[in-house]
Structure 1
Amino acid sequence: MRTDDFWMDQIGPEGYRPPVLDMELLAQVRTGVVVGHPDAEVAVALARLNHDEFEKFGTDSTQLLTEVGSRETLRSLISVAKRLGISDFSPPFSDFSTFKTYWNRNDGYGSWQARRDMLNIVFEPLHVRLADLEAGNISSSLVSSISPHKTTGWPRVDEEIAELRRHFEIAVSPQDYRNAGNDCVTVLEALSAVVYDAAVHLRSGESEPPVASTKDRFDRYVEVSMPGPENASLRKLTRASIEMAQGVKHRPSGTRMEAGIAADAVIQLANIFRRLQEI
């Protein structure tokens, strides 16, 4: 399940209109009867939806949720979190209006970054706990890290890897395997966003590569993280993984073997980058 699943497209006489929140699905979430989707999977998507929409409301006002929608999505997230045993998830606001009141009382007036920080304090621990829960729920034939940690610790990356594993497990047709390939691209872009830091990796006179330019960003990350001749073999291994993972962006997979190799390469790359954080 993805955040998009909570939205319904609208097609009227005048053409496309912004999507509307699927209130029936939210009601199912609260009663625990979302057929085919375990609570951990639902909670991951709903937590991301809430975090993203509240952040948009508090910064650039591009949110799709209405005031009522903000209340219903947060209420549903709290319900499914409690079913998963996460009873301490208790945001200090219940909808957009109370979030605004909260940030004005806590030095968030006039500061988008302060509001982002407030939301990170509320949601990031939940993202991490849900990623751990979901990793324990998903049995996968794809590669796993040798580390005792089941996740990378980067919530967005872990969410996308979990989605990739889930789609690969149920894939049976060429279309399914191509969709798994699309998931690989999404993982790469999530990884690109988290490991590349312009303050560290951008050189004077350069323009920051967009998140979708994953190879450029990964190459610089490797160069900075593993300097010197003693790391030559490690750089070679990592760059080979990058090349293998990048291949899926240019040659969509249509077989289980191709999709599996691409997915393994992407997951391996995420685990290698996670280990580089320990250097």
Structure 2
Amino acid sequence: MIPDDFFTVVSSSGTSSFDDPWGAGSAKRRFDMAMMNELRRGPVPGKTDLEVTIALSELIDSELTAYGTGGGEELDDKQIAAALSALRAACARLGVEFEPPFRNFATFRTYWNKNDGYGSWQARREMVSALMDPILTTLIAMEDKTFDALAEPASPHSATGWPAVDEEVRELRRRFQTASTPQDYRALGTNCVGVLEALSRTVYRAEVHLRDGETEPPVDKTNMRIERYIEDTLPGPTNEDIRGLTKKAAALAHRVKHSSTATRRDAGISADTVILLANIIRRLDQDE
């Protein structure tokens, strides 16, 4: 994603370029305020918070610099306020602190007048750099980590379609992006267990899978519940291998969860395993 993606092109009549394919009238750019409102509430569908925050940070950096120096900014006071608010919310979801000392262009002017920026473009450039450079450096470093991103299923679907499971997987992916300490990696083990428990809660139904004389196992007995689902969905010796995957996935998750020296590799292997297991189990359900 790039800063231009926060704008739509409209003709002088107010129609979009899609509605005015021949470019009748002069075209201009319109800032996407709806996206800012959406980003403030949560991730934009089809985009990660990380890619959006990097592009939005670059846009805000450019706009503040333009306003504080020679002019030429595209946003107005209301729009830059919405952009700053959206960036603050998205950064918070990523665990990155962003608390600008002003909320729009007008308060930025007040800020620089109180902080030796009056009459000095260079001072204002330095103010913007001091605010935005650390954010961009942190976000780009986080993006670099996504090159060792978690496994994606072979399925053409981006999610299992089981809301509770997909929510746990999304949270696991989000936390993996920002993890950097043994404590973070140990916490990822807990997230992996959360995926397994959501899967256990979703696929096991007592009215179908409970045998006579048995007591329903609790949700955290993921091996028992998921293995019974596999046994009933895929009868015969073929299911033994998949049941074995369930045991290994649970063992890995709990080992990382309780490790005091967990590494990114440990957490990544465990996360890959539970994500792929969830998609394997979903495939059994789809082919049932």
- TM-score relative to the length of structure 1: 0.48
Name the larger-Rg structure: 2
- TM-score relative to the length of structure 2: 0.47
